Amino acid sequence: MKVLMTDRQRSFARHALGFPNRKNTSYRNHFCIGPEGDGYSDWEEMVKAGWAVKRTGTLWGGMDMFYLTLEGARLAREPKEHLSREDAFMMHKLASK
């Protein structure tokens, strides 16, 4: 059984990728949010599903940075939208860690 993102998760994921935009191509891949933030649990669920990775540290002032994996980005985009080569490359690197 294939599990799909919820509409809410997909909305957060699309925002992380910079969609929608005129070029229909992603131009970023990150979402910064703290544990108290509305949507944090959605990102945690995406991490559990393998659609995102989480990085913590002092760089983001007590918040966490989430990055979509290639699988997560593919689930988030519309059929005519594309992932930039740079974003796709970084997503492959995330998967290998």
* pLDDT tens per residue across span 19-40: 999 999 999 999 999 999 999 9
Domains of the chain (ranges, CATH numbers): 7-95 (1.10.10)
* pLDDT tens per residue across span 55-75: 998 887 889 999 999 999 999
d(CA 52, CA 45): 9
Is residue 10 classed as helix, strand or coil in its secondary structure?
helix
- What tokens were used for 50? 């393998």
d(CA 19, CA 90): 18
Return the bridge partners of 66, or none.
31, 54
